[in-house]
A = this chain, B = another copy of it.
Amino acid sequence: MSVFLPRGRHLLADFHGVAAGRLGDAVAIEALLRAAADAAGATPVAGHFHPFGPGLGVTGVLLLKESHISIHTWPEHGFAAVDVFMCGAARPDKAVEAISAALAAGSVALREIARG
């Protein structure tokens, strides 16, 4: 890293009760995470999104100057595990809000861990 102090906020969000159709499209999920980074005021440096195949989930990450946003999805369980870890002035809560709005989960378990 460099520009930012290592102090950061790490939000861990477990989304249950998500429609399977929202969890299997790697292209749509990458677009969602990029929109979430933008909402947070964070800057992507690389992204990789791996689809496990038709009807299956996606595992992906957006690496940021400020750390990362990751997602792992299980359409067959209506579940997604999202991490938003950001240092500096970026707003990880705004990223989680954007992802929450798009996934429209039945329930969300959100935890925040201070890092650094």
Residue positions of A touching B, CB distance < 8 A: 1-2, 5-6, 8, 10, 12, 14, 45-46, 48, 50, 52-53, 56-57, 59-61, 63-65, 67-68, 70, 72-74, 76-77, 79, 81, 83, 85, 87, 111, 113, 115-116
Q: Is the interface of A mostly helix, strand, loop or mixed?
A: strand
Contacting residues, chain B, for A85 (C-beta < 8 A): 70, 72, 81, 83
The 10 lowest CB-CB distance pairs between A and B, nearest first, are: A2-B56, A1-B57, A6-B79, A6-B74, A2-B52, A61-B61, A46-B48, A1-B74, A45-B50, A81-B115
Q: Determine how close the nearest CB of chain B comes to the CB of A92; give it in whole angstroms.
A: 14
Task: Give complex CA distance A53, B65 in Å.
Answer: 12
